[in-house]
Amino acid sequence: MDLIDQLKTPQGYVAVCGANRARDGSPWLEFALANPLDNAAVPDGGPRPSDATIEDLAFIDRGGLLDLAAKTGPLFGASTRESLVDWQSAANVARAVVVIQEVVNGAKPLAVLTADDEVEPLVAKTQVANMKTGIDFSIYAISFAVDTSVADGYVACMPDMPWLKKFVGGGFDYVVADVEHVDEGLDYLAVTLLSFKKEISLRDFAAVLACYYDEARVAVLLSQARKISMGFADGEGDIDASSTTRGALRAHESSLSQSDIAQLRRLVQAIISLHLEGVRLDLFRSNEDDDFLSFDTYLAYMWFRFSKKLGQVKIGYCPQCGKAFSLAGRRGVPKKYCSEACKTAAKNEKTRQLQVDVRQAFVGGQSIEGIARSYFPKQARSVACGKIRHMLATWVDLKHRVDDDIAQGDGELAKRCVEEGVFTEMQIARRVKAARRRR
């Protein structure tokens, strides 16, 4: 048995003891597998739910790549060597889905999905009218650059293309996923949702498909459509899609609106479904926490867990480092920082700035009582004044200012420091004596 298969849990997690960039500088991640004889290598029940999420993958940065890889192990489940291009493609898809779901949940405005002068729309919408049949429908499209050259890579984890999924309720929506091969070795995973207000005939569906896909792909999609549909409105029998006149369709770009939320939700659900290839019912290895399902890849398991909290998807952005993180499932005070390190750094920065402001206020002429009212309004006055006196007494620049005041001025600053309790009379006397010796 392959070592990966020995280590793989029902959640598709392959235990590793490290992840590193390829030593030769090529765009690959290399994983060091854990010892299968080490009981701690593969915890009971697989990885902890908090270990890695789709949100972590969606907003991964260069600095956090190896940390995340060490948590997930191989994303695609078949090799100890995975393409960084595949990881980037998986991250791009995850980020798009998270953003769309935030819009669906009302946590982000529709504007984040639309285009401006510099950015292409995340989701493009097109309104189409069939001039022969009078049927109007909408198209929602999204695409991602992918690499199809890796045998055990990202695209290999998905179903055979083209792929079709149908949604019924509030309309009849068909989602088509396909990998488009273009010049210069570029490939794109294109996901397109065709939204009809009422069920159409199989012949009309073939006509629509023929405008966007070649004859072989249309035949595959029609075969799938016959299997997943409870029956089209009419048009039984063989369909000759090539007989359709392309000129019958009139299309124009359109803007997204709140009326498109249902279609955006289905687009998310379809993309999630694309990642659940190789998920099976396994009553004897899995458990009820995972609906007794077994996963071929850890990426599929991450998407499965994401699917169970779609209504809670909300992303926060760390004010310290800018990193995005999930706010799903949190109760009480919302999480503000991505990590304890950023929380501590922000607290230290806030304390440093407060100290600067307090010290400048004092040399600017404000009394300690006045500073306490301005900067510590909720604290007991005696406690706040004590903090301020400590900030001033430990300020080296203030000591130099006092020395200069004693040597060149009238000693007013020194007197004020004594009156405000920053320094004692004895401390000032020592500084006076020291100033006389320097003369």
Confidence of residue 236 (pLDDT cuts 50, 70, 90): very low
167 Rama sector, left if φ>0, alpha if ψ -120 to 50, beta otherwise: beta
Question: What does the alpha-carbon distance between residue 383 and residue 357 come to, in Å, rounded to a whole number?
Answer: 18
Q: What is the pLDDT of residue 200?
A: 81
CA torsion, ordered 245, 247, 249, 253, to nearest 10 deg: 150
Question: What does the alpha-carbon distance between residue 231 and residue 62 come to, in Å, rounded to a whole number?
Answer: 49
Q: What is the pLDDT of residue 367?
A: 93
Confidence of residue 276 (pLDDT cuts 50, 70, 90): very high
Residue 243 has pLDDT above 60, yes or no: no
Residue 306 has pLDDT above 90, yes or no: yes
Tokens for 34, please give them.
């854990």
Q: What is the pLDDT of residue 117?
A: 59
Mean pLDDT of the chain, nearest integer: 85
Confidence of residue 258 (pLDDT cuts 50, 70, 90): very high
Residue 238 has pLDDT above 50, yes or no: no
Q: Which of 31-35, 309-313, 340-344, 356-360 has the largest mean confidence?
A: 356-360
Least confident of 280-289, 308-317, 389-398: 308-317
CB atoms within 10 A of CB 330: 12
Average pLDDT over residues 65-70: 91
Q: What is the pLDDT of residue 31?
A: 93
Q: What is the pLDDT of residue 119?
A: 67
Question: What does the alpha-carbon distance between residue 375 and residue 294 come to, in Å, rounded to a whole number?
Answer: 57
Average pLDDT over residues 290-317: 89
More confident residue, 258 or 51: 258
Half-sphere exposure of 429 (CA within 13 A, CB side): 3
More confident residue, 85 or 333: 85
Residue 241 has pLDDT above 70, yes or no: no
Question: What does the alpha-carbon distance between residue 317 and residue 323 come to, in Å, rounded to a whole number?
Answer: 6
Q: What is the pLDDT of residue 428?
A: 86
How much is the pTM?
0.76
Q: What is the pLDDT of residue 184?
A: 67
Confidence of residue 297 (pLDDT cuts 50, 70, 90): very high
More confident residue, 240 or 306: 306
What percent of the chain lies above the pLDDT cut of 90? 44
Between helix 412-419 and helix 425-438 the angle, nearest 10°, is 160
Q: What is the pLDDT of residue 239?
A: 41
Q: What is the pLDDT of residue 319?
A: 81
Strand partners, 16: 33
Q: What is the pLDDT of residue 370?
A: 93
Q: What is the pLDDT of residue 430?
A: 86
Question: What does the alpha-carbon distance between residue 214 and residue 217 come to, in Å, rounded to a whole number?
Answer: 5
Residue 120 has pLDDT above 70, yes or no: yes
> pLDDT tens digits, residue range 71-108?
899 999 889 999 999 999 999 999 999 999 999 999 89
Q: Quick one: CA dihedral 343, 348, 350, 351, positive or negative?
A: positive
Of 166, 169, 219, 161, the residue nearest 193 (C-alpha): 166
Q: What is the pLDDT of residue 436?
A: 73
Q: What is the pLDDT of residue 305?
A: 92
